[in-house]
Amino acid sequence: MAMADFSIEYSEDVGEFYIDDLSFKKKTQKTHIQLKLHKDCWSPFHSGVKSEIRKPGKPMSSLRKAIMLVVVVEKLKGKTRSEKQDFFGDDDLLNHILVEEDITCNEIGTYDASKSQYRYNKTTVHVIRDHRQKCLALQQFQENACLVALFLQGQNIESEAKINVDSYVAQPFNINKRPVTLGIAGSKFYLFCAVKQGTEDPDLSLKEVDNIKDIKDDDLLPFMFFKKPSNGVFNSFESMAFPGYCISTSQQESNPVQLKPEESQVFLQDFIVNPNF
């Protein structure tokens, strides 16, 4: 569509920003008729032109001029509109006012949560026996010491070891998996899990510790066990350093207490803790 294809007429009425040829012709014809009637009513004693004084209108604001310009440009483009015929939208007015800028975003790395920290809670003294009532006793040979399971009666019962159970608090708290360390009362020995040189499976031994409370984090892990309820009245002790391995006793007496896989059917892994805690 060329500029000559339509006429533009200035008007203070926003609704009359532009008119097409047809409307312009009708208006012109109407004006000619009015002029003719007016000429017929002229008096011979008056001049043919009647002067009028009109109050000038307010000049158009810059915004209105801009809106008129947008409407004309859109008309020239011949854009198709919806039935509602929106002549311009927010984008038409704001495209050259709002400037898009790139937003830089620093990459945020993801990190694994730190290892759970175990906080010492308290120490209680208990007698621990396997579910066949074998007692735990400390046996020492020169510099070597081990914990054995055997039946004790009468005066021999005094040889039964008392176990210091040091309980710890961990987050999240789980009543079915309570972290503990197990030491021999009256000594510095604590049950300790490690893999011996030349072997693949972890082993249970006794290690001397001056103060278990001074050991922290990874250094504490080989001393720690999860005390878990088992078969109602019993408890099992799973190594925290070697998950799936539990403190076990042999079917025969006078054998050392060992660390064996949890699924083992040969060794005894259910213990009675008196008094309960």
Tens place of pLDDT for every residue, the chain, 277 residues? 444 444 444 444 444 444 444 444 444 454 444 444 444 444 444 444 455 555 555 555 677 778 887 777 777 766 554 444 455 555 555 554 445 555 554 444 433 334 557 899 999 999 999 999 999 999 998 788 999 999 999 999 999 999 999 999 988 888 899 999 999 999 999 999 999 888 889 999 999 999 999 999 899 999 999 999 988 889 999 999 999 999 999 999 999 999 999 999 999 999 999 998 6
Q: CA angle, corner 211, sides to 210 and 217, nearest 5? A: 120
Pair (258, 175) in one structural domain: yes
Pair (193, 243) in one structural domain: yes
Report how far apart, in Å, the C-alpha atoms of 150 and of each of 55, 163, 189 are.
122, 16, 19
Buried b (16+ CB within 10 A) or exposed e, 213-226: eebeeeebbbbbbb
pTM of the model: 0.59
Dihedral sign computed on CA atoms, order 198, 200, 201, 207: positive
Pair (250, 128) in one structural domain: yes
In this predicted structure, what is the pLDDT of residue 61?
A: 65
Torsion of CA 252, 253, 258, 264, to 10 degrees: 30
- CA dist 19 and 15 (Å) reads 10
- CA dist 154 and 208 (Å) reads 30
DSSP β-bridge partners for residue 147: 138
In this predicted structure, what is the pLDDT of residue 258?
A: 97
Pair (139, 262) in one structural domain: yes
Pair (82, 137) in one structural domain: no
Domain assignment present for 129: yes
Pair (88, 170) in one structural domain: no
Domain assignment present for 112: no
Pair (154, 188) in one structural domain: yes
- CA dist 264 and 261 (Å) reads 6
Domain assignment present for 35: yes
In this predicted structure, what is the pLDDT of residue 74?
A: 73
Domain assignment present for 233: yes
Q: Are 119 and 168 in contact (CB under 8 A)?
A: yes
Pair (88, 181) in one structural domain: no
Residue 133: CATH number of its domain = 2.80.10.50
Domain assignment present for 49: no
- CA dist 204 and 70 (Å) reads 87
Q: Which domain holds residue 17?
A: 3-40+60-94
Pair (90, 192) in one structural domain: no
Domain count of the chain?
Answer: 2
